[in-house]
Amino acid sequence: MTPITEDIAPLDRHTDDVVIRVHDLSIGWGDFTLLEGMSYDVHRGDVFVILGGSGCGKSTMLRHLVGLEQPQSGTIHVEGVGTPSMVIGPPPFGILFQSGALFGSMTVAQNVALPLRTWTDLEPDAIAAIVRAKLALVGLDGAENNLPSEISGGMKKRAGIARALAFEPKILFLDEPSAGLDPITAVELDEQILTLSKHLGMTIVIVTHELASIFKIATNCIMLDKTARGIIARGPPQALRESAKQPFVQSFFRREALEDHT
């Protein structure tokens, strides 16, 4: 059964601003369905957050959006090109995985250069210039020759973002960017995300459960629930905190304990 979605203060948007469209999506494995009946749009320039409790399918949703997994039914269109896995060549988006996913035997610069060396015929000097520019953009000047083991967790995340920006993507996907970071580093990363959104006009889709980050950077969000097996709330996070009627949504945004959510 498709869950009831509570829409709160939907933003006034034009349909031609949609860069990601998900329609009647169901995801799972074999005969098991994790989430079903999901439909939502991500608009150009959004900082769009996918949130929910542990095990609700946030990261699984992200993997479907970027084409690493295929849905049981329904459709996903990214920039109007259909299923992401059908795109041949470099993807039209960048991805930051939870751990940064840097190759430990390669320097920071080599990690950032890898997609350019894989997908382009650019000369080494041109690649090196792009790498320096991307690292400077995320505040990693001077870290080019460090191995991942020689830099902090926050620097690894920023290096992962630099690599994701190698092809000047219009869309950036971030999976738990603040996970494992101390509060100060997490705030710095939030500022970096806001800079990418405001000054580069990027559309950013983020999986997170960090409320401080959600309220600071998100323009819109969906809330997943493993019991309902789908989206139970949708809208700007501040509006959901103030106006949502469902007890579980209220408890999530207000950090209140809720019993008997089964």
Domains of the chain and CATH, by start: 1-88+188-210+217-252 (3.40.50.300), 93-168 (no CATH)
Give the model's pLDDT for residue 123: 96
Give SS3 for 230: strand
H-helix segments, the chain: 58-65, 108-119, 124-137, 153-164, 183-200, 211-217, 237-243, 247-254
Give the model's pLDDT for residue 259: 47
CA distance 157 to 99: 7
Give the model's pLDDT for residue 15: 57
Reported in sequence order, the residue ranges of 54-115 that DSSP labels E, i.e. its strands, are 73-78, 93-96
CA distance 203 to 3: 27
Give SS3 for 67: coil
Residue listed under structure tokens 């795109």 = 87
Q: Which residues of the chain have pLDDT under 70?
A: 1-16, 80-81, 83-89, 256-262
**Considering only CA atoms, which of 71, 101, 252, 125 is closest in space to residue 173?**
101
Give the model's pLDDT for residue 181: 83
Give the model's pLDDT for residue 83: 65
